[in-house]
Amino acid sequence: MKIPKKCALVGVVGVSCWALPAFSQEPRRATPTPTSSPAAAPPVAAVPLAAPPVAAPCVLSDAAGRCVQWASVAPVAVVPIAPVAVVPIAPVAVVPIAPVAVVPIAPVAVVPRVAPAIGEVPSPNAGTPLAAEEEGALPADGETPEGETGSPGPDGPVVGMVPGESDLSGARTLSGHTFLYPRLFDNAFVASSFYVGSSVEFYHQTGITARVPTINGTSDTISFDRDLTFVKLNYGADMQLSEYVSLGLDADYLAEVGTNSETLFTWGGSGGFDVRPSAKVRLVRSDSTGSQLAFRGYGTFQAGIRAMPLGLLIDISNQIVAATQDPVALATCLVQANFGCLQTPDVASDITASRKRFGGGGALAYAQALGRYAGGQFAVGVEGASTDVTLPLGGGQKTTLASRELLLYAGIAPSLNFYPLLPLGLTYEYRVELNKSSFDANPTVGLTDPTKVSAVSHRMNWGLYYTGRRDLMLGWLAGVSYLQDVVRSMQSAATDPRAFVFAAQFDMRYFF
């Protein structure tokens, strides 16, 4: 006979089951004996089980073998599972992939290796680049060496390239030809540069006449050859403001001295300067035809002083003339130690003459490349000026001879520049000028009426230049001139013999 059992949840400790007596539907409930457990846990919300509890084992039976106490089964704490938040997944933006441009690879030139001759031991490095080339220490073919500016041209790299220029074009380069500045007239180029130069010149003029005072107060006319030696220093700078405009300043200093006794006595020696501020404008440039045209306007300011022993002779002659006019009065003054009756000469004033010249002018200059190695330059110009020459008369007195000048000139300069084949340049320059001068009347010097003089002069230069660098112009020149010299002959320039001048010159100009 089975004994019915009844199970129920007891608190939160576990499930207890007990037997029901046969004689009662509601038997007395046995007190369950809880099993030992740790400290009570915090209450957990009861969760209905999905399946019925499993029967607990019997731990106490009576004499008839009936179980009167079952073991308590510890309840299983069911931890509620927190709901999982479902995060919506954002749609992924699909970016279209741009097509990849396929760059064709230039074919590599394969240099064939030359087989060694019979019996020759091949070099282990033959056909392989040097380590320095691989590391970039040595320039590759066509490159400019480290520290040099330039770009490779058809015949190799151009050394000393001015920034912004190329092999075939630059401030003074047209169609690959780099021009050399002429010395006798203006050039057509707008560039930044500075230069220094010097020259030694030998001047010779035959058959010159001069009047010199005599001891009796009269004068004689002497004839001699005027021989002078010049030393000239040249300085200048040009600053390019744009590819069309530049400003410049040139200055010359000239010293000259007579080299024979007559010239030294009558002419003496002199020194002077000439300052010329200028502005240049490029009018036309064509790289396709290799031509350029520019206009240059300038001012000229000259001043000089000349010392001549002839003035001292004039003072001595004047003293002698004064003594012979009243010798008794002069003797009386000297006996009384009264030197006031003597004419005290102003020697410094009586032996010096001065010259001042102010003016300005303008010129059109044209350059034409005739290939990579040849070119030509041309110029025409006009200059106007006013000149005052002050001459000593003795006794502290002076006179001034004033004149106005109009100078017309034209020049041509063909040139050869063999760079990059050779660092050598050759030039020839020719200039012809017409000077029309008008002198004011001055009876003291023999001009009773205004006098006009026309003088024609010819100048030539031959130049030899080093052209190994684009930014450097270094040259030596030899020059010859045939002059009707208005500066030294003044009003007699048209009638005096022509002067011959030989010049040896040095020029250095740096471009930046």
Q: Are 354 and 305 in contact (CB under 8 A)?
A: yes
Q: Are 502 and 480 in contact (CB under 8 A)?
A: yes
CA distance 126 to 111: 12
Angstrom CA distances, 473 to 8, 154, 268, 470, stand at 121, 22, 36, 8
Predicted local distance difference test score (pLDDT) of residue 344: 59
Predicted local distance difference test score (pLDDT) of residue 147: 41
Predicted local distance difference test score (pLDDT) of residue 83: 58
Strand pairing class (173-174; 58-61): unpaired
Q: Which residue has the tokens 């046995």?
A: 30
Predicted local distance difference test score (pLDDT) of residue 198: 96
Predicted local distance difference test score (pLDDT) of residue 140: 46
For Cα atoms 77, 78, 83, give the angle at the middle one, nearest 5 degrees: 150
Q: Please, what is the angle between helix 327-335 and helix 310-325, to 10°?
A: 100
- Residue 490 has phi, psi (to 5 degrees) of 50, -120
Tokens of 497: 């013999």
Angstrom CA distances, 240 to 181, 192, 245, 280, 287, stand at 16, 5, 6, 9, 19
CA distance 351 to 143: 65
The predicted model scores a pTM of 0.66
3-state secondary structure of 333: helix
CATH superfamily of domain region 165-511: Autotransporter beta-domain (2.40.128.130)
CA distance 146 to 138: 8
Predicted local distance difference test score (pLDDT) of residue 90: 56
CA distance 5 to 23: 14
| Residue 407: other Cβ atoms inside 10 A | 19
3-state secondary structure of 350: helix
Predicted local distance difference test score (pLDDT) of residue 36: 43
**Burial letters 316-352, b for 16+ CB under 10 A, else e:** ebbbeebbeeeeeebeeeeeeeeeeeeeebeeebbbb
Tokens of 123: 């070099």
71: left (phi over 0), alpha (psi -120 to 50) or beta: beta
Domain limits, the chain: 1-77, 165-511
DSSP letter at 345 equals: -
Task: Work out whether the CA dihedral 216, 218, 223, 229 comes out positive or negative.
Answer: positive
Predicted local distance difference test score (pLDDT) of residue 493: 79
Predicted local distance difference test score (pLDDT) of residue 492: 84
Over its length of 512 residues, how does the chain's per-residue pLDDT go in tens digits? 444 555 544 444 444 454 444 444 444 444 444 444 444 445 544 444 444 444 566 767 777 777 777 666 555 555 555 555 555 555 555 555 555 555 555 555 544 454 444 444 444 444 444 444 444 444 444 444 444 444 455 555 678 888 888 889 999 999 999 999 999 999 999 999 999 999 999 999 998 888 776 666 667 788 899 999 999 999 999 999 999 999 999 999 999 999 999 999 889 999 999 999 999 999 999 999 999 999 999 999 999 999 988 877 777 766 666 666 777 776 777 677 665 666 656 777 888 999 999 999 999 999 999 999 999 999 999 999 999 999 988 777 889 999 999 999 999 999 999 998 999 999 999 999 999 999 999 998 888 899 999 999 999 999 999 999 999 999 999 999 999 998 888 888 778 889 999 999 999 999 99
Predicted local distance difference test score (pLDDT) of residue 252: 96
Predicted local distance difference test score (pLDDT) of residue 337: 67
CA distance 452 to 147: 60
Predicted local distance difference test score (pLDDT) of residue 105: 57
- Residue 349 has phi, psi (to 5 degrees) of -75, -35
CA distance 324 to 322: 6
Cis peptide leading into 420, omega within 30 of 0?
yes
